Amino acid sequence: MAKHNKKRNTAFLFEALVREMTKAAIRGDNKKKQKVLKVIKEHFGKGTILHKELQLYKSIYETKEADQLLAAKIIVECRNSYHQLDKKEVFKRQSFLISEVNKTISPQVYNNYVPNYRSLASIAQLFSDETVGKTKVLLETNLLKEMTGKKVLTPQTKSMDDFTFKQYVKVFNREYSSLLPEQREVLSLFIADPSGLVSFLNEELGRLKGVLAGSLDLPEIKEDEVMVENTQKVIDILENVGKQKINESTVIDVLKIQKLVSEIQSDDN
């Protein structure tokens, strides 16, 4: 069986672009948001072959809590419809899309966290003529379990509709009036790319602790026992954040500390 190539997985390309657009929106980069939206509309618009292929993927991975017979029929029907697609045309359109993403957006789009990536890879392998019989049976069995099982939604993996997304941004903007660039980065990663947030925080927590530790030498802090104690408490909070599972509460802690650190650096200058 050929190795799965995510750049040739139409559903993955779509989901990765949607997450790229979400991150641009949170960062307030409307120019990039519109650029990504234009690419999505152009390549996945109704009537395009990539749109047709995407709908076959969606028919499988969006089906939940179905009965066994219905789920099996959906897989058979999607597989049959997939084989009727013009594969050369699909490949050509994917190539145009990949080229445009690389040139006008960024190759980093392919690194975006897509929660259901494993399901998308399984569907691609199920559709592939290169996948051998036994493997196809195993893939189909696993997909049937996903299609007939109960929906499991967590804050970091569930899809966020436009209304919820806008409310998230509204609340944080109201809380902090004007988000700092580093705060927007944390928020955008928390919503659209949790695994990327973990990597970002590995460096960001170190930076924040470094500034706070250095602030203990500032006259206005080191000469005030209460200020020293409070600063140490904040450093301890950062230590705990690095050991905890990232959730909304820990993100809020980081955002508040980023604001504090920004104020310390501003006063220091």
Q: Each residue of 158-192: pLDDT tens digit?
A: 444 555 555 555 555 555 456 788 888 888 788 77
The two tokens of residue 265 are 């650096």
Domain assignments of the chain as residue spans, ordered by start: 6-148, 162-268
Inter-residue contact 173 to 213 (CB < 8 Å): no
What is the model's pLDDT at position 4? 77
What contacts 96, CB < 8 A, 6 or more positions away? Answer: 43
Tell me how far apart the alpha carbons of residues 10 and 48 are, in angstroms, rounded to a whole number.
12
* DSSP reduced 3-state for 245: coil
Tell me how far apart the alpha carbons of residues 114 and 184 are, in angstroms, rounded to a whole number.
20
Inter-residue contact 61 to 123 (CB < 8 Å): yes
Inter-residue contact 65 to 146 (CB < 8 Å): no
What is the model's pLDDT at position 264? 82
CA-based nearest residue to 114, from 156, 142, 150, 82? 156
Mind listing the pLDDT tens digit for each residue in 246-269? 887 788 888 888 888 888 877 665
pTM above 0.85, yes or no: no
